[in-house]
Amino acid sequence: MIIKFSVKLLLLIVLACFSNNLFSQTKLMIKSSDYKNEQLYFYSYSDYISNLVDTIAFLRADSEGAIAFNFELNNTREILIDLGIYHCSFYVEKGTESLIINLPVKRIKTKAELLNIYFEPVNIQLFIEGDKGRSLNPLISSFDKIYSEFIETNFDSIYTYPKSKIIDKFEQDITKYYSEINNLYFKDYYKYKINTLRFLGPNRSYKTITFKYLDNKPILYSNTAYMYLFNLMYKDFFNIYSNTKEGTKLLNLVEEGRSIVKLQNYLAQNSAFSDPDLEELIILKSLHDELFNPRKSNNIHFPVPQIKIILDSVYNYSTVKENRLIARNIIKKVDRSIDINKKGLSNFSLLNINGDTTSLKDLEGKFLYLNFMRTDVASAMEEMDRMINFYDSHNNDIEIVSIFTDSFSNFLKLDQIKYKWTLLHIGDKQNLLTEYKVITWPKFFLISPQGKMIWAPSYTLKEKFEIKFFEYIDKPILK
């Protein structure tokens, strides 16, 4: 018994060590900052296809603006934090035990910036304290500066001439300039940033880039430059490919076959790609875009139930763990968006600001931009203000309905002259919060004129809803 116990104990120790090697703990610290006593949210993307967010840490800085926390790191990872006007990012390399970062000087958004739906944050790359020129963050920062200057100086040549030798010369110069750098993530980063230039402009072919730089090469799931190029090349691929001579059977294959293997074989026969793992990733990207990118009325529409069957197949049977993760994340997004559709929208009747009753059925006949609001949530009231001009410009195409969920007394204080659309109070219908899965405010939904859910949740105006909505209904934006 003693021997058996010892073997079992040894096995547990080995497994623990193996697990620790796969998911090492990294400590991140901020010694002080301008963000005293403020909540700071560090996040990354679970994958760069679904773009589901992984929370790294959500915690309050102390009175000096300092924080410290541990997180798991199984590969080199981009970490993000949004601060006022800034969108900050930095890379943490696998094996890093601890790091100290400095946050930018605080600069909150002005009222005009908050209400500007086209506001673009200032991108800042943070450095890790002690970073030297050969570390990943300063390397990427230095290359991005050279890269931007190259594009600005040679824009016409890059975008006008399909086989511009200037890009080849640029790659030779960059390779020589960084010849003593052995950081593999960085070398792949600059290589795929340069390959992106080869894909842009007229007469570029996704096949050429795929054959030369992607097919039967390692898939770099966590490399932001690789995944940017991949997503650019294969955006809406199924919809585009199905309109070509080679892709005429694609819709039938999805509708009837429902098989990831058949789809892979079809792509291999018609595109001559020979890497099944890459083909599987292309399929995942294509299915994701079919589900979540706006579609014009004359586009081919692939059936959602069959798409979900294919995703389930990848999740359950793929031999590539990263592809299984992506499939799982897309399924999560699908489940969130179609959950209400499964049981249909239940009708409800709520009091409007004049004390009369308005029901969901009363609002059928136009597209409905339904939103849940609170008067005591700043971001919700900012969206209310954004909707003023939107409503004035587009009330012939779409109806806005705002349901307020805080106190009735606060609801009655709303300015009806300012907010001209339908304002309702949730009253005793708190079950709507559960039905629509409202746990944060504001929350938006787009409903068809026939009362069917289209986007659940929907984009906000800040997330370019105006553009995406008019793309969806295949109509120009007129103001």
Question: What region, left, alpha or beta, does residue 456 occupy, with left being phi > 0 and alpha being psi -120 to 50 degrees?
Answer: beta
- DSSP assignment letter at 462: G
pLDDT of res. 8 = 42
Assigned superfamily of 349-472: Glutaredoxin (3.40.30.10)
**How far apart, in whole angstroms, are the C-alpha atoms of residue 383 and residue 117?**
9
Distances in Å between the Cα of 132 and the Cα atoms of 141, 142, 200, 432 are 12, 12, 33, 54
pLDDT of res. 374 = 94
Query: How many beta carbons lie within 10 A of that of residue 244, not counting itself?
Result: 10
How, if at all, do strands 24-30 and 98-100 pair? Answer: parallel
Tokens of 130: 């002690």
Q: Which residues pair with 401 in a beta bridge?
A: 370, 422
pLDDT of res. 165 = 85
Tokens of 380: 């919700």
**How far apart, in whole angstroms, are the C-alpha atoms of residue 205 and residue 333?**
31
**How far apart, in whole angstroms, are the C-alpha atoms of residue 21 and residue 18?**
5
Residue among 406, 393, 397 at smallest CA distance from 446: 397
Long-range contacts, 389-395 (Cβ 8 Å, 24+)? 390/461, 390/466, 391/420, 391/421, 392/420, 393/478, 393/479, 394/466, 395/420, 395/421
Q: pLDDT below 50 — which residues of the chain?
A: 1-21, 342
**How far apart, in whole angstroms, are the C-alpha atoms of residue 6 and residue 26?**
31
**How far apart, in whole angstroms, are the C-alpha atoms of residue 143 and residue 174?**
9
Query: How many beta carbons lie within 10 A of that of residue 233, not counting itself?
Result: 21
Residues in the chain: 479
Q: Which residues of 416-432 are buried (b: 16+ CB within 10 A; e: fewer)?
A: eeebebbbbbbbebeeb
Q: Where are the domains of the chain?
A: 23-129, 179-340, 349-472
pLDDT of res. 478 = 59
Long-range contacts, 474-479 (Cβ 8 Å, 24+)? 474/296, 474/297, 474/298, 475/397, 478/393, 479/393
Pick the CATH number of 23-129 from 3.20.20, 2.60.40, 2.40.10, 2.40.128: 2.60.40
Tokens of 434: 């559960």
Residue whose token pair is 């999740």 = 315
